[in-house]
Structure 1
Amino acid sequence: MVTSEEWLYWALLSAVFAALTAICAKVGIQGIDSDLATLIRTAIIIVVLSAFVIYTGKWANPLALSPKTWFFLWLSGLATGASWVCYFRALKIGEASKVAPVDKLSLVLVAIFAFTFLDERPSLREWSGIAMVAGGVLLLAFKR
């Protein structure tokens, strides 16, 4: 049975792995072009995730998916690729402790896009937290 809080555990693990991604990537891109590093990282992800999907028995015929699903997964893949290219370039020339927080400005943008396109309605308390994240990003990203 899935609990209503289970998403939080997965989200926290995501945050831990995202933090490790920034640190490992910063070390790993020394002496290599950031775009090539992104390609290598993506190839590793494809291999590992393919093995995971097959091992867990979750493989299904992708040709059976609806055109709408394909379209939005395609757009999501393009956005992910663009994000990774930009992230690795920023890590190549910037400090990880500044690049990663600015990257997390995506949290603010997700809230705005979800409000606009998905009809999600965060509470005043949630908007306050989102605004604090935005303020924190600005404090971390810009020196005086």
Structure 2
Amino acid sequence: MFWVTLALGSALFLGLYDIAKKKALTKNAVLPVLFFVSLTCIVSLLPAYFLGKIPSLSFREYGMLFIKAAIVTTSWNFTFHAVSRLPLSVTAPVRASAPIFTIAMAVTFMGERPSGMEWLGIAISVCGFLIMGFASRKETGHFFTNIWILSMFFGTFLGSVSGVYDKYLLHQLDLNPLATQFYYNIYMALLQGAGILLVKFFRRHSENGKRFEFRKVIFAVGIFLVIADRFYFLAVHEPDALISVVSIIRRSNVLISFAGGLIFFHEKHPPLKFVAMACISAGLICFALK
């Protein structure tokens, strides 16, 4: 079960990534941040490429990775815009709903079968999200009608689609994990760069009143993401790994993100938020104990 340890490592760095991402996006234009995060990821992986550790792929395999890049880029656009406008203590738990979508798709399309404990975890987690919605109304208005909450949920759903697609790429197509990580980041940078040029972000126009400010923390966002994804792709590539369980363990990063919102951004945490986090944590424990 080495893949469980790898998934836990991914969760740790994903939590640090969430904290750095919030710092990079606060009062900043979103698309340029997306682009420079992807660029940092590519530069971080270049030594492996020049050392010959990243194999070439077939034309079809490059095309499959372009599809993944399009899915992730769309997901990032929704989630990054939400993160730039909402408290981290709200967006991180919503992002943690990804395992629910992943389990549903893994059961339907990949033939995975959750245990009774996993179904219990889903029920407890859903209760946690409903409590979080009630607790966050003062900060976001009506939780499930707030456009940025909906944006976060849709981006999270697309992230789950990408997770199930990862299992297809790494198991059925048997793609190299490092090659997958490297080439899809290249495609993401190209897509995001095209988006920036399309809306003229490098001119003096602002994005909803927000101008782009380059911050050093953007490098940290990319580096933390590279490490988290490296652990993740290695975990999914393990022969006995279940994407439904890997996704659940990985999303325990919500605990680190929630603590980061409290420590670094001084976000308000009414008692109900802690109840919600306890429910989400209990749900994750149920998943882990399946």
Q: Normalised by the size of structure 2, how large is the TM-score? A: 0.43
Paired positions, count: 136
Q: In 2 relative to 1, CA 60–126 (structure 1 residues): closer, same or farther, beyond 3 Å?
A: same
Alignment partner, residue 60 of structure 1 = 55
Structure 1 CA distance, aligned partners of 2:88 and 2:49? 31
**What is the aligned partner in structure 2 of residue 114 from structure 1?**
106
**Structure 1 residue 29 corresponds to structure 2 residue 25:** yes
Match for residue 18 of structure 1? 14
Task: Say what the alpha-carbon RMSD is for the aligned residues.
Answer: 2.0
* 1:51 to 1:85, Cα distance in 2 relative to 1, 3 A: farther
Question: What is the one-letter code of the residue matched to 2:22?
Answer: K
Question: How far apart in 2 are the matches of 1:130 and 1:31?
Answer: 34
Q: Does 1:9 align with 2:5?
A: yes
For 1:1-144, list aligned pairs within 5 A. Answer: 5-55=1-51, 57-62=52-57, 64=58, 67=60, 69-143=61-135
Change (3 A) 1:110 1:54: farther
Q: 1:42 to 1:119 in 2, by over 3 A?
A: same
Whole-angstrom distance in 1 between the partners of 2:15 and 2:6: 14
Measured in 2, the distance between the counterparts of 1:83 and 1:112 equals: 18
Q: Could you tell me whether the CA contact under 8 Å between 1:108 and 1:131 is conserved in 2?
A: no
* Aligned AA (1:74): F
Q: From the superposition, tell whether residues 39 and 141 of structure 1 become closer, same or farther in structure 2 (CA, over 3 Å).
A: farther
Structure 2 alignment gaps of length 5 or more: 138-290
Q: Which runs of 4+ in 1 moved over 6 A?
A: none
User: Post-superposition shift, 1:53?
Assistant: 4.8
User: Could you tell me which amino acid in structure 2 is paired with residue 41 of structure 1?
Assistant: V
Of 133-142 and 14-23, more deviation after overlay is shown by 133-142
Q: What is the CA distance between 1:76 and its match in structure 2?
A: 2.1
Contact 1:26–1:96 (8 Å) recurs in 2:
yes
Distance 2:128 2:49 in 1: 37
User: 1:140, CA displacement in angstroms?
Assistant: 2.2
Quickly say closer, same or farther: Cα 1:6–1:54, change in 2 above 3 A: farther
Measured in 1, the distance between the counterparts of 2:133 and 2:13 equals: 22
Q: 1:141 to 1:9 in 2, by over 3 A?
A: farther
Structure showing greater relative contact order (alpha-carbon pairs closer than 8 Å, 6 or more residues apart): 2
TM-score by length of 1: 0.82
Alpha-carbon distance, 1:73 to partner: 2.6
Alignment partners' CA distance in 1, 2:93 and 2:53: 34
Change (3 A) 1:54 1:97: farther
Matched residue, 2:169: none
Gaps of 5+ in 1: none
Amino acid at match of 1:18: L
Instruction: Give the superposition deviation at 1:50.
Output: 3.1
Query: Once the two structures are superposed, what CA deviation does each residue of 1:18-40 show, in whole Å capped at 9, x if it has no partner?
Result: 11111111111234201111111
Could you say what secondary structure the match of 2:113 adopts? coil
